[in-house]
Chain A
Amino acid sequence: MSFGYMEALFASVLFAAAPLIVASLGETVAERAGVINLSLDGTLLFSAMAAFTVARVTGNPWLGLLAGAGAGAAVAAVLVLFGQALRVSELAVGFVLTLFCRELAYFLGHAQARRPGPDLGVLHIPGLADLPFLGKGVFHQSPVVLLSLLAVAGVWFFLMRTKTGLLVRAVGESPEAVKARGFSVARVRFWCCLAGGAMAGCAGGFYSLAVKPGWGHPQGCEGAGWIALAIVIFGGWKPARVALGALFFAAIQVAGIALQDALPGLSGTLFQIAPFPVMIITLLVVNLRRSAAFREAARRVPILGRLMPRSAGGAPGAIVGALDRGF
């Protein structure tokens, strides 16, 4: 395993992670404000279709990316309209939207299927591209990688260091208190959900314009939205840890592809599903750490205390309520 191989592996993990990072960061913003956008998987596909179609018609992939963001925001607007204005269960609407957007994407995208179209190409930043490791990974690479890393910094700064971000977190944590201070919970949720949807839409564009270029049935990003939803929980609703989670899941996918060559006897489909059992196991571990039984065990065996989550809850209060209420 030479240095060049490691460098290429690092670059391909960053590349595969880019849409996951952006989609799960978008969902983090929405969930921090107390909205669960369960439609993520459908949003990704629908915006991937919209992005590719617009890129093909206009010949400009950046316009396509913009269209993808718009499509994602539109889906989120439908969700927030049903959830906040019509008081329908957001879980139910989100789930229906997932199925609906997927089918709509296949139906409307039928004409674009298996056609060649523009993609986002490679971004080359002279000077920085010669850096060891980071050069090939970030600065001589598809622009989606740099965009995704900028998104991590941007979302972290917005949520953790700005006054508006504080308001967003407060809305997710205790909407009543925010209401009492005279702010509009509904407005904050509307804009956060829209921003999250636009980011998911960008992620969809990343898929059809860079990571898995083109459109078809299946596109290749099916299931990614669900993984992104799990990554948000895995990352404890903290932007940097969410991004690390996305890198972790992308690494599993890349490892699957790499191992497929090494172990040709095993079916490639087995590696494609590998992230899903890993998702369940990580959720199991993450959630068990927060359980009363684990706290009790950590009291008796102090070394386990190091594994305890530092913050008390983790999930924004409004999210826990929504999931417990269920359907």
Chain B
Amino acid sequence: MMRAAPRALARAAFAVGLALAATLAIVAASGAPPLETLAVMAQGGFGSEAAWLRTLSSFAPLLLCGAALCVTFAANLWNIGVEGQITMGALGCLWFLRAVSPAGPLPPGLAVTLSLLAAMAGGAAWALLSGVLRTHGRVHEIFSGLGLNFVAMGVSLWLILGPWKRPGMASLSGTAPLDPALWLPALGGRPMSLVGPILAVLAFAGVVWLLTRTFFGLTLSAVRQNSLAAERLGLAPKIRILTAMGIGGALAGLAGGVLIAGLYHRLIPSVSGNYGYTAILAVLLASGSLPAVPLACLFFAALAVGSIQLPLTLSLDSSLAGVIQGVLVLTLFAARGLWPAASRRKP
């Protein structure tokens, strides 16, 4: 145990160093000036108050999805369907907001709150579908989750081009914008709402409490470590799996709700914006440490937001952010494989 700390430090230093070297090599291979590219990304992610706000509004859905994944990973589930759960949450939120117009019987504040609950319900339903396919249909959640991601994307495209299309014209730019009364409130006249990031931090704190301080968290880790023994002990792994899926789906759905009510204010084709996949990378980067998850999410959010500048200033593809994220996680895997922690958990 005493030697675990320097080992972890060595691992982190190795991972960061190797990731930096690999990133610079990839950028150089594409013919761009490596250091200038990184500077543009840092500037775009953290360079100004507006940049910080953009980073925070990416951070909110990312952390919500990270929280969702912490719950499902704790139950040993490969919840790859987060993207679809975000989309379904967004659809639930927008469906509710469209049903209650600002002139309706509900005060706008209550309507927005309820719409976030509708978002959670939408995400949870989509995740439970995947969970039931796993527990009762023996379909591995990797395949059901992925398939349902594509189905959710299809449903949202169908709504944008069909039933929810803009009056007069259907366009891939999205549905008609919501009435500003139904937006999440922006604090102090800022262009973006900070309610989403605050909700995300609160939700993540709730997940930490759930996993480390409750009986449910304890049983989840029992199910993860030995599902057969857990079943013999009467812990009903199927119910635990479904509960974990449901909670995870609700959190991912909330991410969709925050994106609709707090950022886009309308439905766009790729509303889930790869947050579900990026969050998997962030949680893998945190490698089982709950406090590291928000940090990884913040860093990945800044990378993603910073990379938006790349096509404009250096005419590079903005997918560099994803490349760096992948390199980081891979080098961390390598470092972990080379220097296993003293008390290493079974992979």
Contact = CB atoms under 8 A, between A and B. Distances in A.
Interface of A: 38, 78, 82, 85-89, 91-93, 95-97, 99-104, 106-111, 217, 223, 226, 229-230, 233, 267, 269-270, 272-273, 276-277, 279-280, 283-284, 287-288, 290-291, 323, 326-327
Given A107-B316, A223-B150, 17 more contacts: A86-B336, A88-B333, A96-B326, A96-B329, A99-B322, A101-B326, A102-B322, A103-B320, A103-B321, A108-B29, A267-B158, A270-B154, A277-B151, A280-B133, A284-B139, A287-B138, A288-B138
Contact of B143 (A101, A270, A280): A280
A88 B80 CA distance: 19
B73 interface: yes
A112 to B, nearest CB: 11
B330 interface: yes
Contacts of B151: 273, 276-277
Interface string B264-294: 0000000000000100110010000000000
Nearest to B172: A269
11 contacts: A78-B330, A82-B337, A100-B330, A103-B325, A104-B26, A108-B29, A267-B161, A269-B154, A277-B147, A280-B148, A283-B144
A283 B277 contact: no
B334 A327 contact: no
Nearest to A90: B347
Contact of B326 (A87, A99, A109): A99
B201 to A, nearest CB: 25
A323 B317 contact: no
Given A93-B330, A287-B138, A107 B26 contact: yes
Contact of B317 (A95, A110, A270): A110
Contact of A267 (B162, B281, B333, B347): B162
B219 interface: no
Contacts of B347: 87-89
User: What is the predominant secondary structure among interface residues of chain A facing chain B?
Assistant: helix
B299 interface: no
Nearest to A108: B30
Contacts of A226: 143, 146-147
Contacts of B322: 99-100, 102-103, 106-107
A270 B150 contact: no
Contacts of A277: 147, 151
B73 to A, nearest CB: 6
Nearest to A267: B161
Contact of A96 (B30, B319, B333): B333
A288 B137 contact: yes
B338 interface: yes
A104 B323 contact: yes
